[in-house]
């Protein structure tokens, strides 16, 4: 069975603080993909990153970075020097061998206060 | 930049009525999806569609739901007889290949009264 757990329901930080959003996944598939999506207050889902199970290299994109660790089944997302515009709900998602089907976590609401 | 579009942005309907939610995927994409998100909850997979047929569907996607690609550009989700619990945001997504990123539309908020 596929499952994604985002234990942090809501996080509040002050602008310029760093924040890490946790994602833990479960799958028995040997090949799988992990994703992060951002859902701003306007409601759309914005793709942030995709990572396949064979690539454990961490990735950095501007203020965003992702830490993929197969040993702990985690795919955590860090925002450095957070900004008010980062306020949104962030979803982690997983697809396994059946790539057609995505499993989303319950999301973490990030509030960045000025 | 190409994007997935959805209409209407908000649909209000009475219980028992049929609704059709419309999506225009990105033009060169071949794989299409519907998801739903009940207010404040996680995004849930409903169905995937490729080569004019359903390739995968979830337990949620029962006989009340159907999908269609009526022409070369639209992809629709029909709910035959809406229930109160169908109230949700419905997202359409598309991708250009089986392992491609799924690009999501802005969603249609369906309210069933």
* Cβ pair A44:B31 closer than 8 A: no
Using CB atoms, pick whichever of B42, B102, B109 lies closest to residue A105. B42
Please give the pLDDT value at position A58: 86
Q: Cβ–Cβ of A101/B101 closer than 8 Å?
A: no
Residues of chain A neighbouring B55 (CB-CB closer than 8 A): 100
Question: Residue B8: is the preceding peptide bond cis (ω within 30°)?
Answer: yes
The reply to whether residue A101 touches residue B56, judged by beta carbons under 8 angstroms, is yes
Per residue in A12-58, pLDDT (tens digit) is 999 999 999 999 999 999 899 999 999 998 888 898 999 989 888 88
For B52: left if phi > 0, alpha if psi spans -120 to 50, otherwise beta; the answer is left
How close is the nearest chain B Cα to the Cα of A49, in Å? 9
B94 HSE (CA, 13 A, CB side): 23
What pLDDT is recorded for position A101?
83
Nearest of B6, B37, B36 to residue B23 by alpha carbon: B6
HSE-CB at B12 with a 13 A cutoff on CA atoms is 1
**Interface touch A91/B31, C-beta < 8 Å:** no
Chain A contacts of B103, Cβ < 8 Å?
47
Three-state secondary-structure class, residue A77: strand
- Per-residue pLDDT of B47-93, as tens digits, reads 999 999 999 999 999 999 999 998 878 999 999 999 999 999 999 99
């Amino acid at each position: 069975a596929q499952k994604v757990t985002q234990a942090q329901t809501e996080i509040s930080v002050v602008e310029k603080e760093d924040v890490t959003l946790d994602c833990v996944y479960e799958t028995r598939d040997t090949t799988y993909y992990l994703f992060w999506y951002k859902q701003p207050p306007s409601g759309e889902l914005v793709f942030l990153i995709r990572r396949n199970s064979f690539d454990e290299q961490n990735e950095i994109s501007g203020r965003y970075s992702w830490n993929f660790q197969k040993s702990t089944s985690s795919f955590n997302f860090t925002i450095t020097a957070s900004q008010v515009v980062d306020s949104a709900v962030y979803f982690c998602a997983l697809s396994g061998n059946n790539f057609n089907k995505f499993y989303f976590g319950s999301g973490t609401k990030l509030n960045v206060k000025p | 930049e190409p994007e997935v579009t959805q209409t209407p942005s908000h649909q209000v309907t009475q219980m028992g009525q049929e609704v059709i939610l419309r999506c225009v995927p990105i033009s060169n994409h071949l794989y299409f999806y519907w998801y739903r998100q009940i207010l404040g909850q996680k995004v849930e997979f409903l169905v995937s569609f490729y080569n004019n047929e359903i390739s995968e569907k979830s337990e949620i996607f029962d006989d009340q739901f159907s999908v269609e690609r009526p022409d070369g550009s639209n992809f629709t989700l029909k709910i035959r007889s809406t229930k109160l619990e169908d109230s949700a945001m419905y997202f359409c997504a598309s991708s250009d290949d089986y392992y491609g990123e799924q690009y999501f539309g802005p969603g249609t908020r369906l309210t069933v009264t």
